Structure 1
Amino acid sequence: MAARNEDANRSLVFLLVDGLGDTFLQRFGAGSTLLAHRTGRLTSVFPSTTASAVTTTLTGLAPATHGLTGWFIRDRRFGGVLAPLPMLVRGNGAVEGLLASQRLFPYQTLFQHRTRPATLIYPHYLAGSAFTRRHSRGAHVVPYQGLEGMVDAIVDELQSFRPQSGYVHAYYPAFDALSHTHGCESSEVIARFQRIDASFTRLLERLQGCNCDIVVSADHGFIDSPQQQQIRLEDYPDAKRLLDTPLFGERRAAFFGLRPGAERDFQAFSDEVLRGKAVLLSSESLRKNNLLGPGKPHRKLSERTGTHALLMESGWTILDRLPDETEHEMLGVHGGLSPQEMWIPLICARC
């Protein structure tokens, strides 16, 4: 009983380092404080991507239930295919409507069920976004700038809880951004990991004796997809005409709708062009096999997963482009089912 009471009085810090896969940590983390405190590994959700996984950490809901099935989702109420985190419709500007975020994100957050104080520590350029505002209900939001700003905010918030205990959820996205741009094993990414590890070391030093537990993990890992392994649907206009929507989901796990009667022709395209590069599945089979997780299905899950999905083989991606749409070049990618993307570390420390 005394041990349970002691644990009940401890604060908890959850630090999510966007993109820090377990494969990377074990390959490049030798001698690091983060690796020294690794206690095991977890799987990401599917798709293994920020929109799906971060939403799970903020709500406790699987993608099947919260409905964010990738960076892009399909929702006809808002003009077709959109990116829910920045609230942008593909090729058509911002999502509009006074109640847009309430309709897109109709579920409760974890913070709304709290029994102790809770703080969400987010980068200053994300802290005020519609997505963050909606998913931080029930928590105090603290914006920060830079790694040391995040560490300072964590320490300050824990001190503000005293003599009570509380929960701090901190999010660091820069590792992910560098991995997309430079590749997941680039010198830039390794250098950023070393900076993160040094900041984690200082955080532990500053929190010694503060009666708190720290858990560090990620939303997904990474894999590289060089240009020669990037399939562009514009190069196959006959196949593209078989689709009734732009691609949505992820480059590594693409959802789409086929026009009525087009299934046989698209299967032939897949057999001829995509063999060894992707696996074509019906989206219904993904849903029936709970690949998107347990729980009550979102009422628009069928729309948001389309009729079919392409699950890309290791290193391969598929993408399309709409008129006037800015293309974002990416070397490092995620969203698929490879071990590098799916395994994330479980790092624990007690202070």
Structure 2
Amino acid sequence: MPIILPSESPAARSVVGVADDVFAALRGESAALPRAESVVLVLIDGLGAISLRAHAGHARGLTAGMAKKDVVQSVFPSTTAAALTSILTGAWPGQHGLVGYRVLDPAQGVLVNQLTGWESEGLDPATWQAAPTIFERARAEGRPAFAVGVAAYAASGFTRATLRGADFVAAQTPAERVEVAYELAERHPGSVVYCYLPEADKAGHRYGLDSVQWVSALEEIDAALSRRVPPGVGVLVTSDHGMVDVPAHRQIVLEAEHLEGVRHFGGEPRMLHVYLDPDVDTSAAADRWTRDLDGRADVGTRDEVIASGLFGPEVSDAAASRIGDLLVVARGNGAVYDGTAHDQRSRGMIGQHGGLTPEERQVPLLRFGAFAR
């Protein structure tokens, strides 16, 4: 049984289109945004539109002018590796190839963590993620390009795959990162400046969306973005995905029979890639998983999910080879664990994402500075 697709308006905008919005505004060719001398694209990792509105009292600056239409849809799976790459390339996961958190490298037959496993598994950022970045596009047009982020991420494989073409500038706090981004945009007319704020995502994973720690992170980010935007600079604030809190009683641990015939479990607990042994009948396995997880998760084969368009209108051969034989998407606020030692270590994570709920896929797209209404 194929995965149940979310009901979305045909007119729903996607984070995939944000890159084109940036360049159209710089050229004065956008029907939606005023022309800007420079653009700052702020990415608040893990901030869903629904959770932002629910905590509006702690984010008065972000939500003051937020309209109902200031929302875009994240991609599938709704996880950082896939969604952040889509924002920074303007390409769907089926095109750029980062189709999950942990995916199979078919050449080596090993799972690769798409955020932290590039060096250990020998992935080449220039070929594993081959889509041009917004920074490479900017340089091709003769525009300065900068990425402002956390120093620890400066030289990572994921950074080299998604921030190619940008001059990386490190700053410690959200306020310092925003300040540096605004200064760069003001000093370099025509520039594209990216500013990454991971604090809410980290707090949500560890403590949950209603925790004191998550609210504190949101307040810190809101304060950072409340500073004055330099004249002529347009600011877009968005996110890669939202989250849901997964309580202990919604954790589904697979039984031993589910491990039979499985080579690898990839993805993450909200959206598993299941890689089967070569001699396993995929259709029969899908039927069995569907029966066993009835009401708790949706199950689809690789071909079914690709045909549904969830990975985008086109899926390259390279991307398809990284997708699981089966995909298992948890419903509601559940999560599916494979029961291995590695998987058990992640069961303490409260805020999670990767699935198809509105809480995970609806993210804000807010306008400030020269873009303000």
Aligned: 1:222 with 2:222: no
Partner of 1:290: 309
The structural deviation recorded for 1:300 is 2.3
Aligned: 1:302 with 2:302: no
Partner of 1:178: 203
Task: Measure, in 2, the Cα distance between the counterparts of 1:140 and 1:308.
Answer: 39
Partner of 1:94: 120
Aligned: 1:137 with 2:164: yes
Task: Measure, in 1, the Cα distance between the counterparts of 2:308 and 2:282.
Answer: 24
Partner of 1:169: 194
Bigger mean CA deviation after superposition, 184-193 or 215-224: 184-193
Partner of 2:269: 251
1:314 is aligned, of 312, 332, 338, to 332
Task: Measure, in 2, the Cα distance between the counterparts of 1:265 and 1:59.
Answer: 35
The structural deviation recorded for 1:9 is 5.4
Task: Measure, in 2, the Cα distance between the counterparts of 1:188 and 1:47.
Answer: 26
Helix, strand or coil for the counterpart of 1:285?
helix
Helix, strand or coil for the counterpart of 2:317?
coil
Bigger mean CA deviation after superposition, 210-219 or 252-261: 252-261
Task: Measure, in 1, the Cα distance between the counterparts of 2:360 and 2:36.
Answer: 35
CA RMSD of aligned residues (A): 2.3
Matches within 5 A, 1:1-351: 4=28, 10-30=37-57, 32-39=60-67, 40-87=70-117, 94-96=120-122, 100-114=124-138, 115=141, 116-161=143-188, 164-202=189-227, 205=228, 207-208=229-230, 210-233=231-254, 236-243=255-262, 245-259=263-277, 260-261=280-281, 263-264=283-284, 267-271=287-291, 273-295=292-314, 297-320=315-338, 322=340, 327-328=345-346, 329-351=348-370
The code of the aligned residue for 2:335 comes to T
Identity %: 27
Task: Measure, in 2, the Cα distance between the counterparts of 1:338 and 1:248.
Answer: 20
The structural deviation recorded for 1:20 is 0.7
Task: Measure, in 1, the Cα distance between the counterparts of 2:169 and 2:365.
Answer: 25
Helix, strand or coil for the counterpart of 2:152?
coil
The structural deviation recorded for 1:263 is 4.5
The code of the aligned residue for 1:342 comes to R
The code of the aligned residue for 1:100 comes to D
- Indicate if the aligned counterparts of 1:71 and 1:249 stay in contact, CA closer than 8 A: yes
Which ranges in structure 2 are unaligned for 5 or more consecutive residues? Answer: 1-26
Task: Measure, in 1, the Cα distance between the counterparts of 2:136 and 2:60.
Answer: 36
Task: Measure, in 2, the Cα distance between the counterparts of 1:29 and 1:8.
Answer: 29
The code of the aligned residue for 1:300 comes to A
The structural deviation recorded for 1:120 is 0.9
The code of the aligned residue for 2:240 comes to D
* Larger RCO (alpha carbons 8 Å, 6+ apart): 1
Helix, strand or coil for the counterpart of 1:142?
strand
The code of the aligned residue for 1:196 comes to I
Task: Measure, in 2, the Cα distance between the counterparts of 1:135 and 1:182.
Answer: 28
Task: Measure, in 2, the Cα distance between the counterparts of 1:242 and 1:270.
Answer: 16
The structural deviation recorded for 1:80 is 1.5
The structural deviation recorded for 1:257 is 2.5
The structural deviation recorded for 1:323 is 5.5
Task: Measure, in 1, the Cα distance between the counterparts of 2:40 and 2:109.
Answer: 39
TM-score, normalized by length of structure 1? Answer: 0.87
